[in-house]
Structures are given as structure tokens and as C-alpha cells.
Amino acid sequence: MSMVQTVESAILAQTRRSLRTLLAVPAARAKGLARVEDIEIAGPAGPLRARFYEAEGAGEQPLLVYFHGGGFVCGDIDTHDSVCSWLAQSSQGRVLSVGYRLAPEARFPAQLEDTRAAVAWAFDNAARLGATPGKLALGGDSAGAYLASTMALEINRAQPGAIVLQVLLYPLIHVQDSLWADEELRNFRFLGRVACLYIARSLGAEALPSLLDVDVSAAPPTIVAGGGPMDPVRNDVKAFVEHLRKAGVRVSERKYPVLMHGGLNFTAYSKTATSALQEVGALVRSELAG
């Protein structure tokens, strides 16, 4: 390992520890949950950590399987514990939060392989968890939203209607440097560009497919929530929403001008994060009750 790689590894390890300290706050978990249970799911390279949340009085509705953000290099079910607990509580339903292998230790498409295994497990076990069998909702934030959307398309192409809803929180749409470079100065996206360069290099996935370039006609009804000027993906999200609508996909969009990218994790510190998750959860409840 070169000196540069050693330094990068040390920085990444410290970043992961810092995020866990900042975000894995047990007191930030939503109240009104009947059940929270840690689960292991068999993955293609070993067990995947998962956590199941059930709201008090949850009725029978599709299970929401959620994949955390963190640029494919950070995050886990603990850093996103509060996010998923608030979504379960406010949707009055059930959420299964699933971890996946991170880069650079696991190169792309390891993340998609883990996502695929988790979704297959959720289909097999939805009824046991009290949810509607045969149908799922998929969701995630940032990189996790990319995984959820990619998997929703894959499944619905093979089995139309199996994924009934996707919930995308400030989704990462692509890591193509040419698109980020074109808007770097005009839209103040230089920090986002640097982040995406690192993500692509860590994944070994410079050719990671852009969601703007794929056929999205099989996508389920979609909830999209994003931030304002401090959210570097906002322009891509706007383009993706238009891409979905042109394909005939129904989209419910919510914008939070003061929300920064990753800001929904800060429920321990921000009323904006809590209220946004409550609103998104209410939309999920409405969609899944239909």
C-alpha cells in the first residue's frame, strides 16, 4: 500500500468513526414503535446487517426496504437508525433497513449484489414480518436511493408491479464527472464533484450507469424529497423527476430549502429533519394504503 493509500485509508476510517459518533444516537430513535429487531440476512459474501422497525398499530401493507446513504463508502444501519425509525413511525408501517458492503473494500457491483440478496430475502419473509406478501416498497437516501431505484427497475421489468413504491431522499443520480464538471462553477457543485470523483474511484465504477440514461418506464410511483442550495444533487434530482414523468411515472416531490445533503440524519439536532421525515412518512402511508 502506497503512502497516499495509507493516508486515504486512515482518513476514511476516521470519517466512518466520526459519522457513527455523530449520527448513531439511540435517543434520536422515534417513539411509538412496537418492535425493533436486528436481523442477519444471507448475502453473497457473508451476512448483511439489517434492522426491522414496526410501528404501533401497523396494518397490513407492503414492507419498505431501505438502503442507507454515505457515498457507498460510509454509513450503516446504525447511522441511519433514526431515519428509518421515523419513517416507520410516521408511515404507521414497517421498515427493513439493510446494510451492504462498502467501497473501497468491496468494489462495484458488490453493493448491487447485496441489495439484490436483501430484496429477495424481504420478498420471502414479508408475510412473516406482518407485511403484505408479494409486494415491496424500496427506499434510500443518496447512494442508497441509487441502489433502491436501480433495483426497483430491475425487479419491475421482470415482474411488473412487484415494487409498488420507491422513496428516494436526495438521490445520487450519477457519478459521471463530465456532467458535474459542466455545472461545477455555474451551480457551485465543486464539492459535489470532488465527492463523486472519490466515490467513482473507490467503487471502481466510473461507468456506473446514470439514472438519467436508463429506461425508467418500469419504475413504480415515486416519492422524491431533497434539499436546497446546500444539496449538490438538486439539479440532477430535478432532471430525474422530469425523466420519470416523461416516462409516465407518477412522482410526488417535496423540497426543503434549508436541508443540506445528508441532513435527514440529524433528527437529534434538527426539527427540519424530523418534520421532513414525518411528511415523507405520511406520503408513504398514503401511497401504500391506496
Task: Please report how the helices 271-289 and 81-91 are oriented relative to each other, as an axis angle in degrees rounded to 10.
Answer: 50
In a 10 Å sphere around its CB, with 0-12 CB exposed, 13-18 middle and 19+ buried, how is residue 158 labelled?
Answer: exposed
Task: Assess contact for 252 and 282: CB atoms under 8 A.
Answer: no
How many Å apart are CA 121 and CA 68, to the nearest integer? 17
- Provide the 10 A C-beta neighbour count for residue 169: 31
Cα 87 from chain centre? 12
Task: Assess contact for 215 and 149: CB atoms under 8 A.
Answer: no
Q: Is the bond leading into 109 cis (omega within 30 degrees of zero)?
A: yes
Alpha-carbon dihedral sign for residues 196, 182, 231, 7: positive
Q: What are phi and psi of 92, to 5 degrees?
A: 55, 45
- Provide the 10 A C-beta neighbour count for residue 260: 18
Helical H runs in the chain?
3-23, 81-91, 110-125, 143-158, 177-183, 190-203, 234-246, 271-289
Helix, strand, coil percent values for the chain (each to nearest 5): 40, 20, 40
Q: What is the set of active-site residues? A: 142, 231, 261
Task: Assess contact for 272 and 259: CB atoms under 8 A.
Answer: yes
